[in-house]
Amino acid sequence: MVIPEIKKPLVTAEDYVQSLRDMKTKIWAFGECHEDVPDNPLFIPHVNAVAKTYEMPFPVKSHLTGKTINRFNHIHQGTDDLVAKVKMLRALNNKTACCIQRCAGMDAMNATYIVTYEIDKAKGTNYHERFKKYVEYIQDYNLVVLGAMTDPKGERNKQPNQQADPDLFLHVVEEREDGIVVRGAKAHFTGVSGAHSMLVFPTQNLKEDCADYAVVFSCPVNTPGITYIFGRQTNDNRKQDPEHPIDQGNFKYATVGGECLAVFNDVFIPWEDVYLYKDYEYAGMFVEAFASAHRQNYGACKGGIADVLVGAVYALCLANGVAKAGHIKDKIADMINLTETLYAGSIACSYEGKPTESGAWRADTMLANITKHNTTKFVYEINRIAQDLCGGILATLPSEADFKHPEIGPMLNKYFACNPDVMCTEDKERLLRLVECLTGGTASVEAMHGAGSPQSQKVMMMRDANLMKKAKLAGDVVDCAFVDRL
């Protein structure tokens, strides 16, 4: 097994940050290659978010070793675990108001555990035993895993092997006695700035002529041959102005998860780290197991962020002296309703979870997809109401440098004043920047497209709905003859 260069189990946030320094993962951003990731202003907020999971570890007992581990590296053993996962995510997002970045890795681990068991049972392979060794190592050392599934895809109406460039879907280009060599890319995935290892999945169902694209494996994020190119983030230019952190909005933590494009240029993966190879008929099972697990989360993580947003808006309404106005209370109630409805979806799909033959439990797929689909709509409405309640100042607030300027600063403090018994002008500035950060740009886009676009959830809803059964139910109620023909 190829393992990250971690010298000891990670216990504290300080241990975690030092482990990233030791790994020396390189990330490209703004045309430069950065080797100082945990100490670079571009990435520090992302690292801080993951570090919170070491400060708040949510311990649980491993079913594999009996040791106490971080819940982010746990294989769910019942509905209690599924519910605890959801509550953990909301609690962490309450503290950071941003993506925690470990969810995709947790969900990829659970999906791989479930599907490798199914493959081994059907085909006599040893993927599952390989994977269990990987899980035990990740648990013992308390490492951060990320999940990488989405391929660039090129022309969407063509299969991977029909693309003009075969590398638009990650695939195996060479089989060796000791492993395989892969080439291609993975896009949009979260958390490379704060991860130790990654699990790589196919992105869709595959046919036999696409068997070279049916590959699942793990590798350290600093594996030679992988190039990471960071995506633009909301306020990323502001992050490079350390003298004025208030302008960043959520200056301690990231706006979203730090998504990137990872290019695999003939990367070697040893056999012990391969958990699917050319068994193309199981590619779709990996996708669906991961997607359902990941969509389970969204009512919790977005609900946790919405809690902070509601709090910021309410505090500003208090400071402006309008919190008791009927229309203000009505709009805040709408934000609360949407937030709790999202959370209820995550809780419901967890309580309705079911066991798999592997022993791992998975959330109800229908309810998980509905939860995520609601997120693609409700988050925008929550944000819209927040922007409505904050008013035009949200878009016209001067910079922190202006507020601190000896000549114009006093003017701004005079004319942006609010109820001094509630907050000072600087606190008002801080909260307005936080609302701006939480309601704009990539934060909303991630709610729409993270864990799959809205259409992908509809596909799975239609599959799981069993419409023919529902048609028979209706026919039986009123004694229709057509029921016997369905």
Task: Say if residue 194's pLDDT is above 50.
Answer: yes
Q: Which residue do the tokens 């070491």 mark?
A: 54
Specify the pLDDT at position 447: 59
Residue 23: which pLDDT band, with cuts at 50, 70 and 90? very high
**pTM higher than 0.85:** yes
Topology of domain 13-294, per CATH? Butyryl-CoA Dehydrogenase, subunit A; domain 2 (2.40.110)
Active-site amino acid positions:
99, 103, 190, 259, 294, 298, 301, 446
Tens digit of pLDDT for each residue in 267-307? 999 999 999 999 999 999 999 999 999 999 999 999 999 99
Q: What percent of the chain has pLDDT over 70?
A: 96
- Answer whether residue 2 shows pLDDT above 80: no
For the chain, the structural domain boundaries read: 13-294, 295-466
Phi-psi region of 457 (alpha: psi -120 to 50; beta: other; left: phi over 0): alpha
Q: Given this model, what pLDDT does residue 442 score? A: 47
- The CATH architecture of the domain made up of 295-466 is Up-down Bundle (1.20)
Whole-number Å distance between alpha carbons of 310 and 313: 5
Strand ranges across the sheet with 226-230: 32-34, 27-29, 226-230, 260-270, 179-189, 171-175
Contact residues for 405 (Cβ-Cβ < 8 A; gap 6+): none
The pLDDT tens digits of the residues spanning 77-114 come to: 999 999 999 999 999 999 998 989 999 999 999 999 99
